[in-house]
Amino acid sequence: MNKKRNIVTILGWIFVVCLIIFSFINKAEKPPATAELYAMDTIVDIKIYGANKEAILKEVIKKIEEINSYIDSFSPTSDIHKINENAGIKNVTVHPETVAIIEKAMELARNTNGAFNPLITPLSQIWGFRDKNYRIPSEKEIEDALNLTDYNDIIISTDTVFLKKEGEALDLGGIAKGYTLDCLKEILDKMNGERALINIGGNILLYGTPSGKQWKIGIKNPREDRIIGTLNIEGTTFVSTSGDYERFFIKDNKRYCHLINPFNGYPADKIFSVTVVSNKGYYGDALSTAFFIIGKNEALQDAKKFDVDIVVIDCDLNVSCSEELKDSLMLENGKG
């Protein structure tokens, strides 16, 4: 009888252990639904976790491709291409989403006093960043292009957009990625998304809480193929980085990057990179560009005004950050 009772007891404990193991396996991280695509002139990397991850992934891809079809200035069927082709000629009727992005671009242009400028295209063209035939333009070319960068020349009337001068051209590359991430967050909210990480060319949506309780985002060393530090971030947020190491050319040992200073017409060179942590995607996207233009000291001051946090790497590879990020930033040589 004792032997039978012992066997029952052992079997009972085995059953309990099996339940614990099954429970642990059931709770273990399941692989995400993933996709990689090319849109908005960059690589888009998507990871969606949770029960309905495949359905969410499908809607996320659909939205990215939809917005890209409106704002891709290289596509002759896009709204932006049509607006640019008709600059100084006539109004162009566009999709409401296009109007919404342009309105936000103008909002950030005004709020940054033009450091973020959606009419930067004429300057990008003469430096060769549009067709990749890189060159240093003449002073006359720069002066002429600067005369085509007044963002007040963008006229919106309900569903139409008009650029006042022939030769003016919109470029929403500095805000559309962040705006798209805002739209993707709405999809995740509506579809009860659990967790997601979506990277559109250095503009990242961190959605939900990861299994380790914090997101770990690497800050790239602008001059070496490694990270210079790591940001530990909790909860849903947006992270946007602008740097001089993605698109550039070197002439006579000087680096010229694709981020053009709209005030003087030359590639910006005050810092190597800036990362913005914000609660709005379009905000962080545009501000990372603006902060790169104005440089470290002004950027650190303006970050408070815009209620965002930033990490700046200057031209000596010194790392500075907002006060609020000091406990979250871990550098190679210790605490940030």
Contacts 24+ apart (CB under 8 A), 261-266: 261/293, 262/114, 262/115, 262/117, 262/120, 262/123, 262/146, 262/149, 262/293, 263/114, 263/115, 263/293, 264/142, 265/123, 265/142, 265/143, 265/145, 265/146, 266/142
pTM: 0.90
pLDDT tens digits, residue range 278-287? 999 999 999 9
Neighbours of 18 (CB within 10 A): 10
DSSP-derived 3-state class of residue 139: helix
The pLDDT value recorded for residue 3 is: 46
List of long-range contacts for 14-23, beta carbons under 8 Å, 24+ apart: none
pLDDT tens digits along 128-170: 999 999 999 999 999 999 999 999 999 999 999 999 999 999 9
Which domains does the chain carry?
74-163 (1.10.3980.10)
Give yes or no for residue 174 having a pLDDT over 50: yes
Structural contact between residues 35 and 46, judged by C-beta atoms closer than 8 angstroms: yes
pLDDT reported for residue 110? 98
Amino acid at 183: C
- Direct distance between the N- and C-terminal alpha carbons of the chain, in angstroms, rounded to an integer: 67
Q: Is 238 left (phi over 0), alpha (psi -120 to 50) or beta?
A: beta
Residues in the chain: 336
Q: Estimate the crossing angle of helix 281-294 against helix 296-306, to 10 degrees.
A: 150
Of the candidates 98, 100, 92, 88, which has an alpha carbon nearest to the alpha carbon of residue 161? 92
Give residue for tokens 């296009």: 98
Look at the alpha carbons of 90, 95, 101, 106 in this order and tell me if their dihedral is positive or negative. positive
pLDDT at 172 > cutoff 60: yes
Give pLDDT, residue 164: 98
**pLDDT tens digit sequence for 80-119:** 999 999 999 999 999 999 999 999 999 999 999 999 999 9
pLDDT of residue 333: 67
Distance separating alpha carbons of residues 114 and 132, to the nearest angstrom: 25
pLDDT computed for residue 213 by the predictor: 85
Average pLDDT for 39-50: 96
Name the more confident of 294 and 334.
Answer: 294
What's the pLDDT score for residue 4?
A: 47
Residue 42 has pLDDT above 50, yes or no: yes
Calpha distance 182→194 (Å, rounded): 16
pLDDT digits (tens, 9 = 90+) for 198-253: 999 999 999 999 877 899 999 999 999 999 999 999 999 999 999 999 899 999 99
